[in-house]
Amino acid sequence: MTQNVDADKTKSRALREWIAEIARLTTPDRIVWCDGSEDERRRLTAMAVQAGTLIPLSQQKKPGSFLHRSNPNDVARTEQLTFICTPNKDDAGPTNNWSPPDETYAKLRGWLKNSMRGRTMYVVPYVMGPIGSPFSKVGVEITDSIYVVLNMRIMTRMGSAALAMLGDSDDFCRGVHCTLDVNPDRRLICHFPQDNAIWSVGSGYGGNALLSKKCFALRIASWQGRSEGWLAEHMLILGMRSPSGETRYVAAAFPSACGKTNLAMLTPPSDLSGWKVFTVGDDIAWLRVGSDGRLWAVNPENGYFGVAPGTNAHSNPNAMAMVGHDTIFTNVAMTPDGDVWWEGMDTAPPVNLLDWQGRPWHQESNDKAAHPNSRFTTPMTNNPALSPHVNDPEGVPISAIVFGGRRATTMPLVLESENWAHGVYMGATMGSETTAAAAGAVGVVRRDPMAMLPFCGYNMGDYFAHWLKMQSAIKHPPRIFMVNWFRKDRDGKFLWPGYGENMRVLKWMLDRIDGRAGATDTPVGRVPRLDDLDLQGLELPGDQLREDLAIKKDEWSAEIESASNFFEKFGGTMPPELREKHRGLAQSLNSAHL
């Protein structure tokens, strides 16, 4: 048993002491400090293959790529087992699960006692944000899972560079991850923002286990952002280059599995010639006010943990190209010749497919071959549309913020807010149908403010106030919009073709900002008229688009009612400004003739 931490690994005494403390608790057979080298990747990959954790794919069809099958009880984030452990319950607010820090630490320590006996403890230092950026932050994840290490290697700037950045400082996020026996009865994902610490036990999947992502970069970072005056958001960041060569940036928040990765790397329709989209980030944005009074965004991640189903050469050619090599696939189906397959790939399912659990699968089967939340982990450098500014230390300046949900009804294709406060109101009241990205029922509409309901590390009432307060610091605020790619007709078919065609909506936003495009006022915001959108080359019946843009009084009355009930939860922490906005909107809707 190795409990002495080599002094030569890090200059940070706080890090050495913390590693020693967790090692005393979990008693691993050995401690391995990850350096992020290519040699280390090869070694760990070989061990994972040996252990059956990774299945090599065909090196002709998918060079450098592997398949991982997770425990079938562990296939998505578990929000009901995710806790914010602040000293005060009110600090977590009415939308988070809360448990008291002391009791929670005691319980977790009990579970973790000797939990790494016979196993290796990996120490994974990582940087969130570009190396050398004053906005970047260091985290260290302790884990007993090679799969987690290999994913963290793709998702973050991991290894020696992080220790170099940390130096002798004690300022790092402390993440303890232990898979235990993947038993849902001993699974908890706990955040201690006041200690800059995360303890995650009993799950090896995605956002539960890759602690850099939702746990640090959103829950802990949102807490830090409130006290330091910035925002940590569940947002993609994209650049749009116009035919004249000017690039403008947009940050967009959609809930899990609602289209961020797809929008972030979209291929514009050929009819909009000369336009190109560049990806800065696909899931998380850290936003700060620059010295020029604009809002600047950094993507703290280094790779993509993207949804596989629905990805195909038509919907997302860039994603198909980037997962063609050096990718870890989780819970997708496997073909007999060592390739991957999932629903919505747009190719007929090959015969003799193995499903995500490794069982033979037949076309007549009612079960999905790939799990609906199956994913790819791929380095951002694989993305053909990667922005050349992704490593810029100051980030990119944001011209528009977009909120969006998955709504079969009510929400039009796009809505423009009047001003910052109205935009914050739109984000705060937004709803979306639940998806397979989290365990539980799928397709139920719930309020998911700013797509942050499961990811805000503090009281969401205070979070809304923080958003409102940011306005005074941003001299040139981005304009705020709301979108919905998922409205359906009576037969349940999507009204809008989506994917690359979403470029037309993005273009309208820029045209609005620049005063080139028109809109019509409605009680709930501004909506384009048919000829305000650039529809060249798009074959879409006018009636269908009209239906997609319609504001319907009965639907909106229900929406307002639902938002009222949601606001009620917050009591005194709800900013009066939003309540006022809500009352005004309800009134004008009531008196409007729609």
Please give the residue ranges that form the binding site for ligand SPV (CB under 6 A): 77, 206-207, 213-214, 256, 283, 305, 437
What does the block give as tokens for 539?
């074959």
Nearer to ligand GTP, 54 or 266 (CB): 266
Stretch that binds ligand GTP, among 100-108, 362-370, 493-501, 556-564 (CB under 6 A): 493-501
Min CB(151)–ligand SPV separation in Å: 10
Min CB(262)–Mn ion separation in Å: 12
Q: Which residue sits closest to Mn ion, CB atoms considered?
A: 283
Regarding 283 and contact with Mn ion (CB under 5 A), the answer is: yes
Query: By the 8 A CB rule, do 541 and 548 touch?
Result: no
**Which residue, 231, 267, 294, is CA-closest to 451?**
231
The residues near 68 (Cβ < 8 Å, ≥ 6 apart) are 53, 54, 55, 147, 328, 329, 330, 331
- Under the phi-then-psi rule, with left for phi > 0, alpha for psi from -120 to 50, and beta for the rest, what region is 360? beta
Query: By the 8 A CB rule, do 108 and 199 touch?
Result: yes
C-alpha separations of 48 from 44, 179, 267, 332 in Å = 6, 15, 36, 18
Regarding 261 and contact with ligand GTP (CB under 6 A), the answer is: yes
The residues near 408 (Cβ < 8 Å, ≥ 6 apart) are 433, 486, 487, 488, 492
Binding footprint of ligand GTP, residue count (CB under 6 A): 22
What does the block give as tokens for 332?
């997708």
The verdict on whether 178 is a catalytic residue reads no
Residue choice 44, 54, 257, 297 for contact with ligand GTP (CB under 6 A): 257
Min CB(234)–Mn ion separation in Å: 6
Q: Which does 548 bind (CB under 5 to 8 A by kind): ligand SPV, Mn ion, ligand GTP, none?
A: none
Regarding 283 and contact with ligand GTP (CB under 6 A), the answer is: yes
Regarding 217 and contact with ligand GTP (CB under 6 A), the answer is: no
Regarding 485 and contact with ligand GTP (CB under 6 A), the answer is: yes
Query: By the 8 A CB rule, do 416 and 423 touch?
Result: no
Query: By the 8 A CB rule, do 41 and 69 touch?
Result: no
Nearer to ligand SPV, 331 or 522 (CB): 331
Query: By the 8 A CB rule, do 401 and 470 touch?
Result: no
Nearer to ligand GTP, 164 or 540 (CB): 540
Nearer to ligand GTP, 104 or 267 (CB): 267
Regarding 478 and contact with ligand GTP (CB under 6 A), the answer is: no
Angle, in degrees to the nearest 10, between helices 576-591 and 460-473: 90
Bridging pattern class, strands 340-341 and 353-354? unpaired
Stretch that binds ligand GTP, among 286-294, 355-363, 491-499, 506-514 (CB under 6 A): 491-499
Q: Which does 28 bind (CB under 5 to 8 A by kind): ligand GTP, ligand SPV, Mn ion, none?
A: none
- Single-letter residue type at 286: W
Residue choice 474, 494, 535, 573 for contact with ligand GTP (CB under 6 A): 494
Regarding 498 and contact with ligand GTP (CB under 6 A), the answer is: yes
**DSSP state at residue 294:** B
Rounded to whole angstroms, the Cα distance separating 435 from 441 reads: 8
Burial class (CB in 10 A: 0-12, 13-18, 19+), 562: middle
What does the block give as tokens for 108?
């977790």
Nearer to ligand GTP, 23 or 263 (CB): 263
* Positions of E strands within 46-119: 55-56, 66-68, 82-84, 97-98
Nearer to ligand GTP, 213 or 582 (CB): 213
Nearer to Mn ion, 96 or 120 (CB): 96
Which of 34, 190, 258, 456 is catalytic? The answer is 258
Min CB(297)–ligand SPV separation in Å: 17
Rounded to whole angstroms, the Cα distance separating 242 from 342 reads: 34
Residues 229-268 binding Mn ion (CB under 5 A) are: 256
Regarding 310 and contact with ligand GTP (CB under 6 A), the answer is: yes
Q: Which does 206 bind (CB under 5 to 8 A by kind): ligand SPV, ligand GTP, Mn ion, none?
A: ligand SPV
Residue choice 65, 212, 302, 315 for contact with ligand GTP (CB under 6 A): 315
Min CB(283)–Mn ion separation in Å: 4
Residue choice 96, 133, 502, 522 for contact with ligand GTP (CB under 6 A): 502
Sign, Cα dihedral of 194, 200, 201, 207? positive
Which residues belong to the active site? 258
Binding site for ligand GTP (CB under 6 A): 254, 256-262, 282-283, 306-307, 309-310, 315, 437, 485-486, 494, 498-499, 502
